[in-house]
Amino acid sequence: MSEIKTFNNYTLFKQFCLEQTGSRPSEPGISLTLRNKTAILRSNDGTAHYPDDLSDINNPKYTLFGPSGDQSITGRFNATLLNESKIDHVFLYRVIKNKSKKQYLWYGKYQIGEKISNNHVGLDGQMRKVILLQLKRIQMPIEELAASEEFVINVKGGVDFDNDSSDEEEGDLQTMPLDPDWTEEDEEDRQKTHPKCMDVDPDLQKILDVCSKINSEMTELNNSFRKKLVVLYLNMNCKL
C-alpha cells in the first residue's frame, strides 16, 4: 500500500513543494510556472463543484478549471495546463480540512492521460459538463524531512488533526496565478468572474495583517490618550 507525505504546517509544505518542483503552490487551485514548465495541481476535499477522485494514488482523477458552466479544454486556464510545449512536469497534492485545521498530502508527480467527460453540478447549482484528467503516477524519490516537522500516513489511513493549524488563507476555488504571458485584459476578466481568486502571497498577507493590527491598536491608544487629556483638562479647570 502506497505512502504519501503529509504536513500540518503550510509553511513547511510550501518549502517542501518548492524543493521538489522548483515552484510554489497557489492558494487555492492550479499553479502554472512557465519558466520551468511546471504545473502544481491542488485538490480540496469537500469542494462540491469539482468531482476529483483521489482514492487511488496511482491513478487519480482531477477536474479541470471552471466552477460553473461547461468546462472546455481550450479555456484559458486549461489550455495552458494541457499544452505540452508549455508544461512538462505535473504534480498533485490534496488538502484535507477539519474545522480550522488543514493537512497537506503530497501525492507526487504525474503524467496526464485521457480526458473523461461527465455531468456534474456547478458552483451555481446548475448541471454542467466537467472534464476530469486521468492521471498516472510517476514514481520519484522524496527527500526525507525531520520527523518533528512532518509525518507519513497511508493514503487510506486516518488523519490526526490534533496538530498545529495551518497559516494558509481560506478558499475553495481553483485558479491560476499570474504568469509572464498574462495581460491586463486577462486579469480584468478573472476579477469579474472570480473576485475571490486573487492570489496573495501568504508572507505578504502576514505583513499586511500585522500592519493592520498595529494601526488599529495605535488608533485605539491614541483615542484613549485623548480622552485622558480631556479628563485631566476638565479636572484642572474645576480646581481653578
Is the residue at 154 inside a domain?
yes
pLDDT, tens only, 182-214: 444 444 444 444 433 334 455 666 676 677 678
Non-local (6+) Cβ contacts of 22 within 8 A are 33, 36, 38
Split into its structural domains, the chain has a count of: 1
User: Over pLDDT 90: what percentage of the chain?
Assistant: 49
pLDDT, tens only, 208-237: 667 767 876 777 777 777 777 777 766 766
- Decide the pairing of beta strands 89-98 and 38-44: parallel
CA angle 123, 128, 132 (to 5 degrees): 90
pLDDT, tens only, 31-50: 999 999 999 999 999 999 99
**Which amino acid would we find at residue 24?**
R
Is the residue at 61 inside a domain?
yes
d(C-alpha 240, C-alpha 230), whole Å: 16
Is the residue at 32 inside a domain?
yes
Is the residue at 121 inside a domain?
yes
Which residues are paired to 153 by β-bridges?
A: 4
d(C-alpha 86, C-alpha 48), whole Å: 30
Q: Is the pLDDT of residue 114 over 90?
A: yes
What CATH number did the domain enclosing 73 receive?
A: 2.30.280
pLDDT, tens only, 143-194: 443 333 333 333 323 333 333 334 554 443 444 444 444 444 444 444 444 4
Residue 126 grid cell: 446548475
Taking alpha carbons only, the member of 69, 95, 81, 84 closest to residue 33 is 81
Across 198-213, b (16+ Cβ under 10 Å) vs e yields ebeeeeeeeeeeeeee
**Structural domain span for residue 41:** 3-178
Taking alpha carbons only, the member of 197, 4, 162 closest to residue 91 is 4
Beta strands in 100-154 (DSSP E): 101-121, 127-138, 151-154
Is the residue at 34 inside a domain?
yes
Is the residue at 235 inside a domain?
no
How many CB atoms neighbour CB 181 within 10 A?
Answer: 10
